[in-house]
Amino acid sequence: MRPLLEDLVNKSKIQTALVQATWQDNLVSKVAKHLLSHQNTFSYSQLTNFYRSRAAYADFSRGQKIKQEEVAYYVKSFWSWHWLTKQGFFDDYFNNMICTLFRKHRKQHQYIMHAIAGLPFFNGDIQKWWSTLVKTPSPSHQSNQKHHSTDTRKTSTSLETSKQAWLKLVKSLGPKEARYATKSGRKLYIKIYRADKKWLLDVNKQYRVKRATPKNRVSWRKRDFETVKAMFHHLYQSHDMTTPRRSKRWFLSQLHNSATIENNLYRLPKTTAFLTRYTESYQDYQSRRLVITAIEFAKIKKRAKKWQLYRNARINTQRSISSQVRRTCDWCVDWLEQNIK
């Protein structure tokens, strides 16, 4: 019993085959070891300068614009596209990754992506790649601070001028009119809203125009009665049997204020009850068309069979026909036989 159990255990073991690693895998593993032993941090501006300098050095730039497609092709040719696809890359994703790395950096990327994009420019030399990346200078803090202070002064002066212009508009027109009356008013509102929202809201609240409450409010009860009366007028006074199907939409379209009525049906119980009661179903519409067709046959004093009535009434016999429509058709055939001699 014991040897049998040992044989079963041995047979259930998964046999693994040793596969020789490619030079790309070996290079990536060396990069991983190097990164674990060097814990440097890089600013976004430093990474931006590094990739722009590499693209310019390899003649992949035209002024400030980097030739993204040529950079992606250069990186692919170094690693081989066959190896990159095994790592899970595909055309669109890989090209997008290269584009984001060689543009202005606004977020951090995985270090393996930096290795894939940066090592080809150093022919796979990890030490040169790393030392160049570390030594890449950031933009001068002092010059940035000087430009920032100058820009801040210009911005504050421009903002103060905009506030004075907006205050003048608000005093004369009110907040809403000042914002929508002119194109310059809209621009002022947007500019101040982005720069100093609290000041803008406080000023608008201070000069808000108080509008009088309208005295004539809508009497929905009266409007409900008038609407039903108008609909009954269209229902009984319209003797034209060739009208389209008298659906809810048809009844509402006969009114001069159809949009208002449709949007406020929950306030109009009588109108809603009318539409529920008198709206013509599709079966009723087909029956009406059959009657109209029978009248047309009677005018020329010609009897008709069922298929002729269906065809002239534009009723598709290939689809299911309701019992109501069938009864109407039978009645029309009998009526024609009795009244045409």
Nearest to 116 by CA among 91, 159, 83: 83
Strands (E) located in the chain: 61-62, 65-66
CA 247/CA 326 separation, integer angstroms: 22
Q: Per-residue pLDDT tens for 192-244? A: 998 888 999 999 998 887 776 666 678 889 999 999 999 888 888 766 667 77
Longest distance between any two alpha carbons in the chain, whole Å: 110
The more confidently predicted of residues 276 and 89 is: 276
- Kindly compute the dihedral angle of the four CA atoms of residues 180, 186, 190, 195, in this order, to the nearest 10 degrees: -110
pLDDT band at 329 (very low <50, low <70, confident <90, very high): confident
pLDDT band at 6 (very low <50, low <70, confident <90, very high): low
Nearest to 88 by CA among 113, 117, 57, 51: 113
Q: Per-residue pLDDT tens for 66-118? A: 888 888 888 888 888 888 888 888 777 888 888 888 888 877 777 778 888 88
Half-sphere exposure of 322 (CA within 13 A, CB side): 10
State the DSSP string of 245-282: ---HHHHHHTSTTHHHHHHTGGG-HHHHHHHHHHPPPH
Q: Stretch 315-322: mean pLDDT, rounded?
A: 84
Q: Stretch 181-198: mean pLDDT, rounded?
A: 88
pTM (two decimals): 0.38
Which H helix or E strand runs over 283?
helix 282-299
